[in-house]
Amino acid sequence: TFANLLSCSLFAKENLNRMSERQLNLYDRLINEPSNDWDIYYWATEAKPTPAVFESDVMAMLREFTKNKKREPRLRQPDLEYLFESPR
């Protein structure tokens, strides 16, 4: 879904450079293993409970990010330049 893609891409831009190798592996598994993108969206928005196999600190981070407590506009995917930036 576009909403899920948008949320995950913005989450990735904000968090990938700070994640440990273990967290990166969990994130990779989360975005690649479920057969239905809607599932990730429902888990991130807490519309459905996250299955134990995908429950992790990374899923908790994604849920928190999805709440958008700062009410940031999230209308488009980020440019991909962040993938080539040096870690901060």
Q: Report the sign of the C-alpha dihedral through residues 15, 61, 64, 50, in that order.
A: positive
Tell me which residue has tokens 């700062």.
70
Sorted by sequence, the CB contacts under 8 Å of residue 81 that are 6+ apart come out as none
Average pLDDT over residues 20-47: 92
pLDDT digits (tens, 9 = 90+) for 5-17: 667 788 888 899 9
The percent of residues in the chain predicted with pLDDT above 70, rounded, is 75
Residue 88 located in a structural domain:
no
In a domain, 74, yes or no: no
pLDDT of 5:
65
Residue 79 belongs to some domain of the structure: no
Listing DSSP states for 5-47 in one string gives HHHHHHHHHHHGGG--HHHHHHHHHHHHS-S-HHHHHHHHTTS
Give the domain CATH number at 30.
1.10.150.250
Mean per-residue pLDDT over the chain, rounded: 83
Amino acid occupying residue 63: R
Has residue 34 been placed in a domain? yes
- What pLDDT is stored for residue 88 in this prediction? 54
Q: Is residue 78 one of the residues assigned to a domain?
A: no
- Report the pLDDT value the prediction gives residue 74, as an integer from 0 to 100: 57
The whole domain housing 41 covers 2-69
Number of domains observed in the structure of the chain: 1
